[in-house]
Chains A and B, each alone.
Chain A
Amino acid sequence: MNRLLAAAAGLMLLWGALPGHAGELRVRVKDQRGKLVADAVILAVPLDAKNALRAKPPADAVDQVDKQFVPYVKPVFVGAKVRFPNSDHVRHQVYSFSPAKKFELPLYAGTSAPPVVFDKPGVVVLGCNIHDWMVGYIYVSETPFFAKTEAAGTAAIEDMPPGEYTVRVWHPGMEHSEEATARRVTLNADGPSSIEWELGLKPALRVPRVSGAASSGYP
């Protein structure tokens, strides 16, 4: 019995001593009126370069459903290959003019479009040349530690090595620069850290899907 206890204590000590025991960062984002904000991207950049794990970026996808990009905001790690499957019955022509990635997928249906590699950090605004109201965002993160807030305005970044991070927030409708949101956060291994932001958001403005000033006149 004593041997068993000793072995368990030894394992616990070893676990605690392992470098990079994972921590967690929990965030909540509200707007200037206290409303919880969805689709905000949270980025945690480790100050210690060795904590910036260079994991292979996973393959990602942005779908097109009901003539909308789904999800509306998609954060990916730099180098990610993103596919653009088309779940609609109509063809789409996806493009971006953004400096972080300029590309165009000629008209296609289904899953025939080749993946696009996002190899430069920054915001990529997506559009469809056929359906002008379609807009979506890919945030290409320079750090592997990122998450996107859900409808409840919350997000969690898990499996983070303890240490110091610069954490910042980006949202498509934010009034100020992303850099202005930066905060220094120290992450310990002994439990999750929580942090909250209040973002100033501009009223959203998009090309309307149904439009037209029809005349009723028959003079």
Chain B
Amino acid sequence: MERGHPSAATLGAFAALLAFGAVPYAASGDWTLGAAAALRHDDNVGNAQSSSDIVGDTAVDARLSIFQLFPLDESYSVTVGGDLGGEAFRRLTGLNNASLDGALALKRKWGLGAFVPWARAGASVGRSSYDDSYRNAWNYRATLAAGRRADERWNLWAEYAFERRAARSQAEEVPGVSGDAFSQTSHNVAANLEYSVNENAFLALGLRGRHGDVVSTTRASKRIYYASRALADDPAFGPDVYAYKLTGTTYGVRIGVNYAPTPHSLLGCGFERFDTHADGGNRYTKSVSEITWSYRF
């Protein structure tokens, strides 16, 4: 296990420098800046099944984003951008992390105006750096999304995403069993619905589906061991705790209420519930509650 030295703090400082350096340019160019923050409680951070293994924690998340929209013609536009963020946990400080992402997306609208169908294809690559650096990873994401705003009140869109998280393989805890527990591949689908109550408030409902690798952090367990494809020491959760990589399917639902106090900002609170069925009869649930704030210049 490595305790990260040039990890979160270094990357965070570099990213902040980059962001603040970009502000004057963004202010005089076509760039759009955004900022977001969240206070989030996850009642099962380690994705554990047994109540004795379940660890809940609260984290603060902050994110700065910068992007530019290039309209190509009446139908197509390209968005280029990136964001940097940081996440700090109250108890599980080894999970504190900073991340830097770059993204590219091509959007097509079928017609003119706010109420026509659209589709978007995008890709992003990012680097996450943790206080416990064995979790450091490159994150790759490819998305296809489509949707339509029916009117000022109803907005509907769906998304498919392929995600690849590439972490460095850890030392084998058990000879012959891979230590690459933190690298994951998954297929994700989501359907989202927004309903505007009035000019400043809207409700959000999201349905989620995910199939692929999941990481469950527990104490040593034969049942999960036999079902796992990789395992590694996971000291961010304490001593004698292991991260097991399994294949699983997750179903989730999210509800949220959002309020825009100004045209540029949005306050929200949301609740998400996930139910994961993994190999070997391993099943876990988690709930995530959050308060969010976002601002777009």
Contact = CB atoms under 8 A, between A and B. Distances in A.
Interface of A: 68, 89-91, 93, 95, 97, 104, 106-107, 127, 129-130, 132-133, 203-217, 219
A205 B113 CA distance: 16
Contact of B71 (A97, A130, A206): A130
Contacts, number: 111
19 contacts: A89-B28, A90-B30, A93-B71, A107-B73, A107-B74, A129-B112, A130-B71, A132-B113, A133-B263, A205-B196, A209-B264, A210-B260, A210-B263, A210-B264, A211-B202, A212-B294, A213-B205, A214-B292, A217-B288
B74 A129 contact: yes
Contacts of B32: 90
Given A89-B30, A132-B113, 16 more contacts: A89-B29, A91-B30, A97-B113, A107-B71, A130-B71, A203-B199, A205-B199, A206-B152, A210-B264, A211-B155, A212-B294, A213-B205, A213-B256, A215-B272, A216-B40, A216-B42
Given A215-B254, A216-B40, A217-B288, A210 B113 contact: no
A210 B259 CA distance: 10
Interface of B is mostly: strand
A11 to B, nearest CB: 55
A207 B200 CA distance: 10
Chain B residues touching A, range: 35 or more
Interface of A is mostly: loop
A208 to B, nearest CB: 6
Interface in B80-106: none
B194 interface: yes
A204 to B, nearest CB: 4
B199 A106 contact: no
Given A89-B28, A130-B69, A207-B114, A217 B152 contact: no
A97 B116 CA distance: 13
A159 B295 CA distance: 46
B288 A213 contact: no
Given A89-B28, A89-B29, A215 B208 contact: yes
A93 B74 contact: yes
B5 interface: no
A52 B170 CA distance: 86
A211 B266 contact: yes
Nearest to A104: B112
